[in-house]
Amino acid sequence: MTGETIIHALPGANPPAPALRGWRHYADIYAALWRNSVMREMGFQANFVFWLFVELLWFALQLGFNSVLYLHTDSIGSWTKWEVVMLIGASHFVQQLFQAFFLVNCAQLAELVHSGKMDFMLLLPVNTRFLISLRHVDLGGFVSAASGLAVVGYAAHQLHVVPSPAQVLGFALLCALAMLVHYSLMFLMASISFWTVRAQGMVMAYYNLFSVARIPDAAFRGAGRVIFTLAIPMLLVANVPVKVLLAKLNSPSEIVLMLAMSVVCFLVSHLVWRVALRRYASASS
Amino acid sequence: MKTAPIIQVQKLSRAFRTYKKQPGLLGAVKGLFRRDYELTAAVDGISFAVEEGEFVGFLGPNGAGKTTTLKMLAGLLHPSGGSASVLGYTPWERPVEYRRQFALLLGQKNQLWWDLPARESLELNGKIYGIPRRDFERTVGDLAELLQVEDKLDVMVRELSLGERMKLELIAALLHRPKVLFLDEPTIGLDVVSQKVVREFLRTYNETFRTTILLTSHYMSDIEALCRRVIIIDEGRIFFDGALEEVIDRFADFKLVTVQLESGAHLSAWDWQQFGTVLEESRDRLKLKVSRDRVIPVCKALLERLPVADIDIQEVSAEEVIRNIFARSGSRRPRASSAVADPALLKPVAA
Amino acid sequence: MALWRAIYADKPGEIAGYTLAQMLSYYLLVTIVEATTSVTEDEWQIAADIKDGHISQFLIRPMDYLHYRFCLFVSGRVVYTVAALVPVGLLVFCNREFLLPPADLATFVCFLVSLGLAALLQFLLSYLTAMLAFWVLEISTFVFILLAFERMASGQMFPLDLLPHWLTQAMMWTPFPYGMFFPVSVYMGKVTGAALAQGLLMQLLWVGAIYALARLVWQRGLKTYTVVGG
């Protein structure tokens, strides 16, 4: 068969456009992205296991540190040992889920810009932020997140706490909000690093900054507390969900505050992203 | 009836702000506080229009502004002045509808996922462009057959050769049947056979679908084989816009004169440089590059002096003409000169 | 640090022999030691050098790769220390009432000596880790595992004597405390006399041992390298 005849056999130009902005369409794309990520992970099984081990090791380290602290004290503020264990578990859970969905993607943003792959992202007829934020899925994160959840459960058992379904639901919803905060902050950093820092340094900065989340809020007073609540709301992301689970909330306003802060974080990150994009179009070569 | 041009570019400009690095540590520290910026025009007020189905070649030395122009038309860059419309859209507003109707292929970069078979990347693009399953299968199958890469679809992309990868990149770019195709150096670094396959493919594709294609290439043979029309850009300005043959008529200042001596005769030692540049000088053959206005007198003189069996007068190749154009502009601007050095002038003269 | 303030707020007095001021100066000192001695990117660079074949040029040049890396490490530390001067200085300044001065000049000199040895130790440890690149493609997991152990066992997270006594003793047999906990303890006058001499000796022994090991692994690695590289 010659070239011409094959080409004539091709389906007609421009297939009819489906509802491109529809949820179905995005769900379809996301399913394909999942498929690709799973296939990639299959190619690096040893790596997968190693990373899981690293994550668990670090998690154990946090718990170990906590045990050491409580060798010497009975409470930090109003927090007892197992309550803090639950806090560490919850913060690990949220962070690992965030890692599973978003972290690699955010960390890779600088490299996308560097290598010019960003151009291809911009060409595709879907929301660019969607594509960039959700390209890869880190499956190890889910396993690791499960370990965090297990620790939360074990701590609840030690505390003889049986949360009501409403509390569990509240915990889940607040964890989702916490992920939104993590994601927004990381994406914000990534957008800024569009034209400055390298990826490696950014992930390190992220780990250092977000380690605040595992500390009971009672440990912070004064300026520190204000900064980590209202500027970088790390003191909310794990503390508030755990307090709901433990019925430890000072007032419902903490939930409202967390909701408000997650929305604010998201909006700010979106604003910076827009500026970064505009700058990309006017400064790159 | 003549329809409106599919691409219309008017006084499009693009300036880059580059900052001069001061030498040394002190300079670097100074640079933290105050930077001296320099405005360089990458594209400097170009205008042209392209009709539907045209296959236009962009020529120019490195840094002439070809890629920048393509990127602006693809909506990746904001122009600093002028306007452009492609398919009725303003590219840099990046409307989704526009993005569905064109494709950009960058020969030096790749969009396929590195550690997956190409098929998976294609699937993903299929989902993104919302291409129905059946159309997708058929398009991929047919394009792969045309480009002779059917057996490469399931190979990990990082294990493919450059040529195979570029062919698959092409499939990825054509999956959604773009009406306008921007190709930036699609054959760069490819082996000769792949170059030929890609070239053949593009020609057939353009002829069959009347897809409008803008192509930049380093290889004159790409342009000669594919583009009836060329736009020559230099220093961000349009230097020439028209048919390829016209380039030779207008800019070829030289012709090639070759004389073959009668058998047994020897070329006498003489300073042939007086007639023009000696390209070849052997026992019984002489090839000269002679400026146009001297061709007749030089031929006369050669016939008088030598026992000539055959004389041949040729136009120089389009490639050389264009190279010369750039060499001339290169002398004004040292940046581009390395890319356009004329090898014909450097060739050692055979004794 | 905020955590400790909260703990001491509930429980004034000493914890494992540390007053609040001592505890805070411990962390300030850790920050200072970290800024001056810890490795930042060297292991990644060494691994990249091995993977990309850049070490080949050192095989034909009269310059030893380990020495070359060490020079880079030292100059890198100098630059980093200067860069960290402002933020660390600010942190120390804000908490200046807690940073206790060393007991006497001799203590300070010993601190400087052990600081130098700590830097050597940290460098050699990451050099050794990076050598793994001869055998595995991706060393990052190993680097993070080492980092985790270092965090815990070097005393970066908390003073090691907070641990149960037997565990502290066990830790002191590993190389990790000598990269961080030991120099800080010297500064704070927690180790003196015979213990000080013994500690410095251990530090020296570890430096020597890891140096020898790094040399050995390098030789082994080169063998596989040249075999693979043809």
Residue B55's alpha-carbon distances to B7, B36, B69, B109, in angstroms, are 12, 42, 16, 22
Q: Band the pLDDT of C230: cuts 50, 70, 90.
A: very low
Are A122 and B112 a contacting pair, CB within 8 Å? no
Which pLDDT belongs to residue A224?
Answer: 81
Which pLDDT belongs to residue B231?
Answer: 92
Chain C residues near any Cβ of chain A (below 8 Å): 2-3, 5-7, 10-11, 15-16, 41, 44, 138, 141, 144-145, 148, 151-152, 157-158, 162-164
Q: Has residue A9 been placed in a domain?
A: no
Q: Has residue A6 been placed in a domain?
A: no
Closest-CA distance, B127 to chain A, in angstroms, reads 5
Q: Has residue A214 been placed in a domain?
A: yes
Domain holding A53, by residue range, is 44-278
Instruction: Give the closest residue to B165 by CA, choosing from B205, B109, B206.
Output: B109
What's the farthest any 2 CA atoms get from each other in chain C? Answer: 67
Contact state of A64 with C152 under an 8 Å Cβ cutoff: yes
Q: In this predicted model, which residue has the larger pLDDT, B104 or A74? A: B104
Of B78, B123, B200, the CB nearest to A32: B123
Q: Among B137, B197, B208, which would you mutate to test the A interface (most chain A Cβ atoms within 10 Å of its Cβ)?
A: B208
Q: In this predicted model, which residue has the larger pLDDT, A227 or A156? A: A156
Chains that touch A (3 or more CB pairs under 8 A): B, C
Residue ranges covered by each domain of chain C:
2-224
Which pLDDT belongs to residue B69?
Answer: 92
Are C199 and C155 a contacting pair, CB within 8 Å? no
- Whether the CB of A73 is below 8 Å from some CB of chain C: the reply is yes
Give the A window 189-248 contacts with C, CB below 8 Å.
Answer: 200, 215-216, 218-221, 224
Q: Has residue A85 been placed in a domain?
A: yes
* Beta strand pairing call for B229-234 and B237-243: antiparallel
How high is the ipTM of this complex? 0.81
Using CA coordinates, name the residue in chain A closest to B144.
A6
Q: Has residue A285 been placed in a domain?
A: no
Q: Has residue A153 been placed in a domain?
A: yes
Of A3, A20, A281, the CB nearest to B96: A20
pTM of the entire structure?
0.80
Q: What is the pLDDT of residues C7-63, one digit of tens each?
A: 887 777 778 788 888 888 888 888 888 888 878 778 888 888 887 777 777 777 777
Which pLDDT belongs to residue A15?
Answer: 46
Q: Has residue A87 been placed in a domain?
A: yes
Which pLDDT belongs to residue A279?
Answer: 83
Q: In this predicted model, which residue has the larger pLDDT, B255 or A17? A: B255
Which pLDDT belongs to residue C227?
Answer: 55
Q: Has residue A284 been placed in a domain?
A: no
Low-confidence ranges of chain B (pLDDT < 50): 1, 331-351
Q: Among A8, A10, A111, which would you mutate to test the B interface (most chain B Cβ atoms within 10 Å of its Cβ)?
A: A10
Q: What is the pLDDT of residues C136-163, one digit of tens each?
A: 877 888 888 888 888 888 888 888 888 8
- Whether the CB of A45 is below 8 Å from some CB of chain C: the reply is no
Closest-CA distance, A138 to chain B, in angstroms, reads 15
Q: How many CB pairs under 8 A join A and B?
A: 125
B/C Cβ contact: 3+ pairs below 8 Å:
no
Of B68, B142, B177, the CB nearest to A9: B142
Q: Band the pLDDT of A283: cuts 50, 70, 90.
A: low
Which pLDDT belongs to residue C81?
Answer: 85
Is residue A155 predicted with pLDDT exceeding 90? Answer: yes
- Whether the CB of A61 is below 8 Å from some CB of chain C: the reply is yes
A/B Cβ contact: 3+ pairs below 8 Å:
yes
Using CA coordinates, name the residue in chain B closest to A27.
B127
Closest-CA distance, A116 to chain C, in angstroms, reads 22
Tokens at residue C178, please? 């000598």
Closest-CA distance, A282 to chain B, in angstroms, reads 5
Half-sphere exposure of B249 (CA within 13 A, CB side): 5
- Whether the CB of B120 is below 8 Å from some CB of chain A: the reply is yes
Is residue A101 predicted with pLDDT exceeding 60? Answer: yes
Closest-CA distance, A285 to chain C, in angstroms, reads 28
Which pLDDT belongs to residue B199?
Answer: 92
Q: Band the pLDDT of A97: cuts 50, 70, 90.
A: very high
Is residue A207 predicted with pLDDT exceeding 50? Answer: yes
Domain count for chain A, please give it.
1
Q: What is the pLDDT of residues C50-97, one digit of tens each?
A: 877 777 777 777 778 888 888 888 888 888 888 888 888 888 887 777
According to DSSP, the residues that pair with B107 across neighbouring strands are: none
Q: What is the pLDDT of residues B192-218, one digit of tens each?
A: 899 999 999 999 999 999 999 999 987
Using CA coordinates, name the residue in chain B closest to A131.
B128
Which pLDDT belongs to residue B350?
Answer: 33
Specify the DSSP element, H or E, that contains B19.
Answer: strand B7-20
Is residue A266 predicted with pLDDT exceeding 90? Answer: yes
